[in-house]
Amino acid sequence: MNFEPTYESVARHRVPDWFHDAKFGIFIHWGLYSVPGWAPHGADIDKQVADKGWEAMFANNPYAEWYLNTLRVGDTATRRHHIATYGPNFSYDDFAPMFNQAVEKWNPDDWAALFQKVGARYVVLTSKHHEGFLLWPSKRTSPHKAGSYATRRDLVGELTDAVRRRNMRMGLYYSGGLDWSFNDTPVRTQKDVHGTIVQSPDFVEYANAHWRELIDCYAPSVLWNDIGYPAAANVPELFAYYYNAVPDGVINDRWRQQPQEREMNFAEMADAPTIEHCDFTTPEYATHDRITEKKWEACRGIGHSFGYNQNEGPDDYLSVEELVRTLVDIVSKNGNLLLDVGPMADGTIPELQRERLLGLGAWLAVNGEAIFGTRPWVTAQGQASGGIPVRFTQNDESLYAILLGTPEAGLIAIEQLQIREGTTVSVLGRSEPLACTQESSRLVLSLPSLAAAPAHTLKITPKPQQAF
């Protein structure tokens, strides 16, 4: 299919099966902010906004990748830390040679091996975050910086090659709206986020050239833009260029070209329309409470930050149990989970993050059949006896009822579920079928003793066509 540079034409693009099947991707926030690796200790961004509002959040931003902005908004904890650690005359740009030196130690194959081991199907790397520093040796770096404001190593290219060698898809994030090397106005309110999008003709040409360069050089499977796009840019032309180059690629929803009219909370932002065409939406530190027809992808860090934050400890990270249940819930509602890791400047993935990833991967090694390649069922959620929540997924042959807890051995009933005669029910990871009976609207099963786990999966074949 050849796409023309109009929204009417690019709207004909359909989300490819690989993205529906993938379910789990790794996000990577890595840049100059990884050198200080510092943000105030706090809570998830949605909780901070709900408790104290946007201005207080931006002054105490839990996102370490926003380090430069938090330096600029006033007498913040980040500014005090920066002066105490690096001195009053140390510029943010002074992190650039430190980062370039640190990344010489990085081995992209180590990352790719880890991501494959934990079950990820795709990876998305920040090629340029809001700071404006590039992670590939572009032909064009910021005209407002002395020298080349980019890495000496081709971090984008090296990781792309390593990821593809492991049979995963590679996507690229690019901050197409904010670039603090072009516009250094501090962001203090939510409206400032879109109010400080760079609108100058030279930036329109700069951002478009970068996207085309990334498409031509790396053919990313995902175009993951952030914080809108300049109003004068021809976005459908860029979309058509991408689809014609990468027909099975996907494009996210963060290309808004109009200013935001009012302040929104996180729940509203998750449902707010942002662009005339996208392949999937991207709620951040938020999810949906129902099956949505439109494909979506929840993104979040393992902790409160996307970029590495040295202040975060075990209590700041989602537990393995929470990660598993988050993934299951998202998949049951037609979503993917894009889970972020924040490496240190030298590419080291902190041990706590590795531990959580490996725990999730161990669960997927047993239960991945109920996640990868599945689709939502007629309902996302149900209830089992003992108050255990249930989430449903399906493939062509089977229904998967995922118990978000470990039931006691003996009889367990799943409410509002009716099976056909001759149905086989088993627990993934065990070969023997379970004894089961239909009692009115309840499916009653005899369960063996199960080891404690974040979730257990019942495989029901053939699948029921509908809930009771």
User: Which pLDDT value is given to residue 94?
Assistant: 98
Q: Please give the pLDDT value at position 273.
A: 57
Residues 160-164 have a mean pLDDT of 98
Contacts made by residues 383-392, CB under 8 angstroms, sequence distance 24+? 383/414, 383/415, 383/416, 384/412, 384/413, 384/414, 384/415, 385/411, 385/412, 385/413, 385/414, 385/415, 386/412, 388/412, 390/414, 391/328, 391/329, 391/331, 391/332, 392/332
pLDDT digits (tens, 9 = 90+) for 387-398: 999 999 999 999
Question: What is the overall mean pLDDT for the chain?
Answer: 95
Q: How confident is the model at residue 468 (pLDDT cuts 50, 70, 90)?
A: low
Out of 2.60.120.1060, 3.40.50.10480, 2.130.10.10, 2.60.40.1180, the CATH code matching 375-461 is 2.60.40.1180
pLDDT in tens, 196-232: 999 999 999 999 999 999 999 999 999 999 999 999 9
- Residue (of 400, 321, 423, 345) closest to 103 by Cα position: 345
CA separation for the pair 446, 162 (Å, rounded): 46
pLDDT at 262 over 90: no
pLDDT in tens, 87-116: 999 999 999 999 999 999 999 999 999 999
Distances (CA, A) of 313 to 31, 61, 68: 21, 17, 23
pLDDT band at 291 (very low <50, low <70, confident <90, very high): very high
Residue 398, pLDDT score: 97
Architecture of domain 7-370: Alpha-Beta Barrel (3.20)
Sheet containing strand 250-251, edge to edge, reads 250-251, 222-226, 169-175, 122-128, 24-28, 335-341, 296-301
Q: What is the pLDDT of residues 6-56, one digit of tens each?
A: 999 999 999 999 999 999 999 999 999 999 999 999 899 999 999 999 999
Choose among 431, 439, 432: nearest CA to 414. 439
pLDDT value of position 274: 67
pLDDT at 270 over 90: no
Nearest to 403 by CA among 445, 463, 362: 445
- Over residues 138-152, mean pLDDT: 96
What's the pLDDT band for 324 if we cut at 50, 70, 90?
Answer: very high
Query: How many of the other CB atoms lie within 10 Å of CB of 146?
Result: 8
Identify the band that residue 376 occupies on the pLDDT scale cut at 50, 70 and 90.
very high
pLDDT in tens, 57-93: 999 999 999 999 999 999 999 999 999 999 999 999 9
In the chain, where the domains are located: 7-370, 375-461
Assigned token pair, 346:
């030298």
The DSSP-derived string for 395-456 is -SS-EEEEESS-PPSEEEEETT----TT-EEEETT--SBPPEEEETTEEEEEE------S-E
For 332, the 3-state DSSP assignment is: helix
Structure tokens at 455: 């979730």
pTM of the predicted model as reported, rounded to 2 decimal places: 0.97
